[in-house]
Amino acid sequence: MQYFGKEAVNVMLLCYIALGGAVGVKAMLSSFVGNTFDHLDKENVIDVKISLIGFELEATKYDLICVVISSCQMLAYYFFKNWVFNNVMALIFCINALQTMFIGNFKNGFMLLTLLFFYDIFFVFGTDVMLTVAKGIDAPIKLMFPKDFSGEKPQYSILGLGDIVIPGIFVSLCLRFDFLKSINIKYMEGLLKKEAAGEDVSTMKYLFKLAQDCSKSYFIAVNIGYLIAIVCTVVVMIVFEHG
């Protein structure tokens, strides 16, 4: 920002997010339409490799379609500066991050969340660093919620994407744990042996049904905890008029 100015940095960030958002758009489309567009995702229409600098770029027709969708969304945000366009792209980033990021075990998750708890207290409530960055960068790096349209410039409450993604990957860890602890290993081994012998059984059908029907006690408990934490945060923001 010191050398190029705030506007130039914001434009560079928006271009970067438009390209990066294509990955999230592709994941979202695949979640809704399944393998409908798989025929567009088989052959690369762009395949550039520069061995000297280790640069490699590959893209299929499906990738290019997702880039166009992401870029249109980003252009709409750039020209209209509407909080809805901001939130759509921010949510796509969140969902893609939750699909691709994993914590190895509960100990790592507990340590991460504990350290970030104190980090947030200092940088959000102790200083204005986080708010200055969040408000200074005009890009979908946070969720925006309108709270006052009476003034010349609308006022928004903001929620950083990290406050969704970091607890979210811990929530997903709990859901995976609920699923894994419900698997009957011996029964599954039997299914795999029958499947390998050519019998008409499906291990994946068993896993899908188990994922839907298994007890989700850890998942429910951590969601209740997350809800209580969000409520406490909102109360603190209202009381101290900060955030």
120 included as an active-site residue:
yes
What is the residue-wise DSSP string for 104-162? S-HHHHHHHHHHHHHHHIIIIII-SHHHHHHHHS-SSSEEEEEEE-SSSS-EEEEEETH
User: What's the pTM?
Assistant: 0.76
Q: Which residue has the tokens 């979908």?
A: 140
What are 157-196's pLDDT values in tens digits? 788 888 888 899 999 999 999 999 999 888 888 888 888 8
Q: Round to whole Å and give the CA distance between 42 and 45.
A: 10
- List the catalytic residue out of 47, 163, 178, 213: 163
128 included as an active-site residue:
no
3-state secondary structure 147-191: EECCCCCCEEEEEECHHHHHHHHHHHHHHHHHHHHCCCHHHHHHH
What are 38-93's pLDDT values in tens digits? 888 888 888 887 776 777 888 888 888 988 998 898 888 888 888 888 888 888 88
Q: Which residue has the tokens 């758009």?
A: 25
- List the catalytic residue out of 120, 178, 200, 213: 120
